[in-house]
């Protein structure tokens, strides 16, 4: 399940960048909208796989005393998805807050990736 999580993250980052560039180039933009819709479908798999990894490892998480970091990982993961979505909607409308929200989304995604690598599960963690 962690592999599905990683695959959906990579797909989400690629689709987010493409949709953002298309929206910033000109909006409304049909290609941007289509990319955004595919990204929204990917969010479902991203959240589902993250929650499943969390639930499947509940016992190990409790035993290791690492609840707080796992709780933070889930919170940051959900916040990252929310900010990616909100920043794209604002970029599509050329709203003034779009730039700040995009920066916030990038910062939260970077922190989430850092937390994921810091926590012990998954192929990325074992690389470091």
Binding interface with ligand HEM (CB under 6 A): 2, 5-6, 9, 12, 46-47, 50-51, 53-54, 70, 73-74, 77-78, 80-81, 109, 112-113, 116-117, 119-125
Residue 65 or 96 with smaller CB distance to ligand HEM? 65
Q: Which of 74, 75, 92 is nearest to 26 (CA)?
A: 92
Report the nearest approach of ligand HEM to the CB of residue 19 (Å): 14
Residue 28 or 114 with smaller CB distance to ligand HEM? 114
Residue 32 or 77 with smaller CB distance to ligand HEM? 77
Residues 6+ apart with CB under 8 A from 93: 27
Report the nearest approach of ligand HEM to the CB of residue 111 (Å): 9
3-state percent breakdown (helix, strand, coil) of the chain, nearest 5: 85, 0, 15
Report the nearest approach of ligand HEM to the CB of residue 83 (Å): 9
Sign, Cα dihedral of 104, 105, 110, 111: positive
C-alpha 83/C-alpha 92 separation (Å) is 14
Report the nearest approach of ligand HEM to the CB of residue 6 (Å): 5
Residue 2 or 20 with smaller CB distance to ligand HEM? 2
Q: Which of 113, 84, 91, 117 is nearest to 28 (CA)?
A: 91
């Amino acid at each position: 399940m962690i592999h599905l999580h990683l695959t959906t993250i990579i797909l989400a980052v690629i689709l987010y960048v493409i949709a953002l560039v298309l929206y910033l180039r000109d909006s409304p933009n049909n290609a941007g909208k289509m990319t955004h819709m595919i990204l929204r479908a990917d969010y479902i798999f991203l959240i589902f796989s993250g929650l499943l990894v969390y639930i499947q490892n509940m016992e190990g998480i409790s035993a290791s005393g690492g609840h707080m970091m796992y709780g933070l990982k889930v919170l940051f993961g959900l916040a990252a998805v929310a900010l990616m979505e909100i920043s794209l909607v604002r970029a599509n409308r050329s709203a003034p807050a779009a730039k700040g929200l995009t920066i916030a989304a990038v910062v939260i995604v970077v922190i989430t990736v850092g937390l994921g690598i810091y926590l012990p599960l998954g192929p990325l963690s074992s690389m470091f």
